[in-house]
Structure 1
Amino acid sequence: MRKMCLLLIVLALAAFGPAPSPKKRTPGSVTMSKATLQDKIKGGWAGQVIGCTFGGPTEFKFNGTMMNEYQPIPWYDGYIKKTMIENVGLYDDLYMDLTFVDVFEKKGLDAPVSEHAKAFANAGYMLWHANQAGRYNVLNGLKAPASGHWLNNPHADDIDFQIEADFSGLMSPGMPNTAVQIGDSIGHIMNYGDGWYGGVYVGAMYALAFVNNDVNYVVREGLKAVPAQSTFYQCIADVIKWHDQYPNDWKRTWLEIQRKWADEVGCPDGIFAPFDIDAKVNSAYIVLGLLYGQGDYTKTMQISTRAGQDSDCNPSSAGGILGTILGYNKIPAYWKQGLKEAEDIDFKYTTRSLNDVYTIGMKHALQVIERNGGKVAGDQVTMAVQTPKAVRLEQSFPGHFPTEKRAINKDLTSEYTANFEGNGFIVVGDTRPKAQMGSYEYESNYVGKLEVYVDEKLVETASQPASFTRRRYDLTWSYKLPSGKHTVRLKLLNPDSEHTVRLRNLIVFGDKPILARY
């Protein structure tokens, strides 16, 4: 009977949450040489470049499906340099990080979020999803954290800060709470809720990777920084649980992730579509690679990439975290082939190369260590190691569930009216020059002025720049409407014969999932 009771307790723990962290504990302080610290910082930054380069060709080409082993992914000597020169936009994982690193370098570690927001919003690079929505908000006078809040940003739960938060952990060796604090205000420029938690988690794992070489510990302990009530925590806890149940079958865990967590609620591009840029799902693929890779760099790269979706960003994060654990010198030579040839190349839109970042990263890390109870003495560095503490609870889109995705596919020449039933909507579309309709990027000084009426009440007059870097990612949206029947009317105040405001879809939200109606 006693054995039966113990068995039931074990089964209950396995069913309702991740297994406890391993008994191995990180001491209250860790001392290492400056050379070791520098090696780990280099491993973190280089690992990002390796992962981003490796996964680049497959990015969002395997949505809702995994890439099987029979399909090769290229990797050869000279490939990193070739990609950095010929496919500069691939490295948004890096040049986005460096925007904030550069502000810290020029303005100091106490630089206000306004400086980061200004640098981010006015940078020359192209942006998408939560980043572009946040940029638009900042350029149009909405400050952080409002610029990333889900009421002002339909992409609040997207992956954006998750792919940019590496800098916070690499500045905070052994100090996950400090990493989270550094990234808090910056992450809210473009994200909120699960979108912010993606960066919280990644930053915490990087910080812990300096002081513990057990990838299982880093994954589990880092999750303590995220509140257990959040859907982000619950998703990652499930991945840890499924890994415990199926320790030799990453594809089984992938299937469980897909079955339970693949439904998109926020990002319009992923609603009722296999595309999924949600932070928690892509973070699940980072964890998938780390847990099933078990410290093997090749397995980690392969699994986090072959899981699909944002398959350059996910191996970039996994590769950076594992690179920090191992250190630069212990990243296998196979993965560093050709890297030295690329380390002096400035990332596009920056004046910083990898070699620059290695140096600046070390400088910032030493400053943060000394600010937070650590000590730098001669060639030795002592870090006051922190136990992660859960941040505040935020949850985007509560009580909002997609119920309809209605195709419009017409140009707005004067007015458009639609009736719907629900508690929110998004009108998906864009404004661009007619002469550049087939172009991936476009520039123009034209700014459409769009009046938006809900139930015949003017709710906003939205600027619609015909510029790819300044565009409003979605034309208009509104949440938290009273549940029921509504009318949305759009009125273009300044139509122009050389530009088009294209209406693509109307997405409708209700207060219950569709299946709950039956």
Structure 2
Amino acid sequence: MLSIIEEDILYDSIKSSAKKQASIKIDRDSYKDRLKGFWLGGCIANWTGLTTELSRNNPPFYTDKDWDTYNEERKVTIEFILNQDPWKADDDTDIEYVYQHAMELYNTHLLTSEQIGTVWKKHIGLPMLWVSNVAAAGQIQRGALPPATSLPENNPMWDMIDAQLTTEIFGALAPGRPDVALKMGHLPIRTTAYMDAEWASEFYIIMHALVASVDTSLSKKNQVFWMADQARNRIPDWSYMADMFDFVKKEYELNPDKNNWEETRDKLYERYQAKSTAGYTYKYAWDAGINFASSIVSLLYGEGDYKRTIQIGTLTGWDSDNPTATWGGLLGLLYGHEALQKHFEKFDFSNGYWIERTRPNLPIPTDNINDMAERGLTIIDKVVVESMGGSIKNGKWFIPEIGKKIEKVMLNKIEVPWSTIEDSDPRWKYKGFEILSEQWYNSDWTLTKGYKNAEAEFSFKGSGVIYFAQKNDKSGKVTIYLDNKYQGSYDLNSESDQYFVKIWGTSQLDYGNHTIRIVGDKTKREKSIDMLSIIKNANPEAYFEFQKKSKK
């Protein structure tokens, strides 16, 4: 992985030489129709996927027979959602909207850490926020900025799905140039995702950028397959994301029945969830990994057909609205708004987008897709001239190509040493603490709370430990002991609710057996335990050395 300085040098070199390359020509009006398709396609697929979200994370999974049936758990029929008016914002589309707003507000397509921090503070927070986004939002409220907000030692949810559903827009706004798209999306991705989860997000961004340069003489199936193969080139071969893509692709190719996507989904479950494979160990139904793998099932078996892709994505399982929203946006961009209407034989889709449903303080509470696409063109104008070395003439963009090959992340295999220990882990010893369920903003939907003189103890073998808790205006203080040595007293009180808050930690322990003890104060105020992160391995030096180099 290149350092930020090295990436800048490479990027500037590519930009300089781009003027000498052959150009692709894109009609602005035609691309506006694509951007409208991106937003409409994402909304349809998002809300269609929500009909099964998190309903099936283990066998028995859904199959094609479950389409058009009633989902008792979610109290909704599993079918295409086509008639919202306006379209309701959700976390699969709304943060992308905020990023577009930020690019408009600051008149730049290369958002800085400070600019991202400002718009997150103003527009992105609870409720309607989950997992790594919650962890990043809390850090930003306390003054941290990306990319630090995605580091495992700051964000225990760094390997969750969040960035995969919040950053695809950067590919759509860098047509034909994935190198520029990756530059634009780098800090937004690194707000919440790191390494494997980061590379899955880059995969999606690359595919969106390639829509404008794919060979349109190919079938939709072959266009999608070509884009996916190009995006795969970005991922290091040792990453479990690479293994997942390669496995699903091979299973698809060997399967004589291209309608039997369920067989590949079931094999995916056995390989990656029922057991650990390729460095991946399943934790939650919103893992970046399992959902990336499931997305490749729907992408390949959908074969470029919007309806079939979203239908399979909805039925595949896990956090199903996320892959569907991603592919809905991609195929909407590929088809365009007009063709998407013809695909559904429906020509009265709502043009409205109700962003205020989930994100406050924006200038237009209920926006419309036509205007969103028009403003997207203005951003692309700037991208083409300033970052692509291109030009605008007679309503067309002339964009220098840099070649079709995607640069692979150049990084030797590094293991992230931090491993999470949930508050519900049976190895905890609690006295006066209680594990509460249905805590929706927490990682496994549990949070452990105690009050006066509550105590918690956890023994582990490793060389580091971090304690994460919830902060709110009802909380008191805790005292932390490590191996019976006092480490300090820490206040869990905060004016606002904050989750995944790093209270205390160290990575400097001698490798061996250790015990952390968390003791509540004598008041009746609330104390909480969300999770621990521990370093299990004896030699994490390579990881920390890489961290040092990355900061230079």
Does the pair score TM above 0.5? yes
Question: Residue 487 of structure 1 is aligned with which of 481, 496, 515?
Answer: 515
- Alignment partner, residue 391 of structure 1: 409
- Structure 1 Cα separation of the partners of residues 24 and 198 of structure 2: 29
Q: Does 1:121 align with 2:117?
A: no
Over 3 Å counting, the alpha-carbon distance change for 1:83 and 1:61 in structure 2 is farther
- Structure 2 Cα separation of the partners of residues 394 and 338 of structure 1: 51
Q: Does 1:360 align with 2:359?
A: no
- Alignment partner, residue 382 of structure 1: 398
Over 3 Å counting, the alpha-carbon distance change for 1:335 and 1:451 in structure 2 is farther
Q: Does 1:64 align with 2:44?
A: no
Question: Residue 256 of structure 1 is aligned with which of 233, 251, 267?
Answer: 267
Per-residue Cα deviation, 1:180-216 (whole angstroms, up to 9, x for no partner): 1111112112221122112211111100122215110
Per-residue Cα deviation, 1:76-132 (whole angstroms, up to 9, x for no partner): 686322772xxx5xx111111122111110112144221112211342542221111
Any idea what SS the aligned residue of 2:93 has?
A: helix
Question: Residue 49 of structure 1 is aligned with which of 34, 39, 43?
Answer: 43
Any idea what SS the aligned residue of 1:310 has?
A: coil
- Structure 2 Cα separation of the partners of residues 172 and 215 of structure 1: 18
Question: Residue 487 of structure 2 is aligned with which of 458, 466, 470?
Answer: 458
Any idea what SS the aligned residue of 2:234 has?
A: coil
Over 3 Å counting, the alpha-carbon distance change for 1:202 and 1:485 in structure 2 is same
Q: Structure 1 unaligned runs (5+)?
A: 1-26, 433-444, 513-518
- 8 Å CA contact retained: 1:177, 1:225: no
- 8 Å CA contact retained: 1:173, 1:211: yes
- Structure 1 Cα separation of the partners of residues 384 and 47 of structure 2: 31
Any idea what SS the aligned residue of 2:324 has?
A: helix
Q: Structure 2 unaligned runs (5+)?
A: 1-20, 69-76, 217-222, 435-448, 539-552
Over 3 Å counting, the alpha-carbon distance change for 1:34 and 1:159 in structure 2 is same
- Structure 2 Cα separation of the partners of residues 457 and 448 of structure 1: 18
- 8 Å CA contact retained: 1:170, 1:361: no
- Alignment partner, residue 144 of structure 1: 146
Q: In the alignment, residue 280 of structure 1 is paired with which amino acid?
A: G
Q: Does 1:33 align with 2:71?
A: no
Over 3 Å counting, the alpha-carbon distance change for 1:493 and 1:229 in structure 2 is same
- Alignment partner, residue 182 of structure 2: 180
- Alignment partner, residue 289 of structure 1: 298
- Alignment partner, residue 97 of structure 1: 96
- Structure 1 Cα separation of the partners of residues 416 and 353 of structure 2: 46
- 8 Å CA contact retained: 1:151, 1:478: no
Over 3 Å counting, the alpha-carbon distance change for 1:459 and 1:35 in structure 2 is farther
Q: In the alignment, residue 422 of structure 1 is paired with which amino acid?
A: K
- 8 Å CA contact retained: 1:99, 1:116: no
- Structure 1 Cα separation of the partners of residues 347 and 492 of structure 2: 46
- 8 Å CA contact retained: 1:192, 1:395: no
- Alignment partner, residue 85 of structure 2: 81
What's the offset of the Cα at 1:464?
A: 5.2
Over 3 Å counting, the alpha-carbon distance change for 1:417 and 1:167 in structure 2 is same
Aligned length: 461
Of residues 35-44 and 66-75 in structure 1, the stretch that sits farther from structure 2 once superposed is: 66-75
- 8 Å CA contact retained: 1:148, 1:156: yes
- 8 Å CA contact retained: 1:129, 1:473: no
Q: In the alignment, residue 329 of structure 1 is paired with which amino acid?
A: E
Q: Does 1:331 align with 2:340?
A: yes
Question: Residue 289 of structure 2 is aligned with which of 259, 277, 280?
Answer: 280
- Structure 2 Cα separation of the partners of residues 191 and 449 of structure 1: 30
TM-score after normalising by structure 2? 0.74
What's the offset of the Cα at 1:176?
A: 0.9
- Structure 2 Cα separation of the partners of residues 308 and 477 of structure 1: 36
Over 3 Å counting, the alpha-carbon distance change for 1:129 and 1:235 in structure 2 is same
Over 3 Å counting, the alpha-carbon distance change for 1:69 and 1:153 in structure 2 is same
Per-residue Cα deviation, 1:425-448 (whole angstroms, up to 9, x for no partner): 67676456xxxxxxxxxxxx4454
Over 3 Å counting, the alpha-carbon distance change for 1:191 and 1:505 in structure 2 is closer
- Structure 1 Cα separation of the partners of residues 123 and 79 of structure 2: 31
- Structure 2 Cα separation of the partners of residues 272 and 181 of structure 1: 30
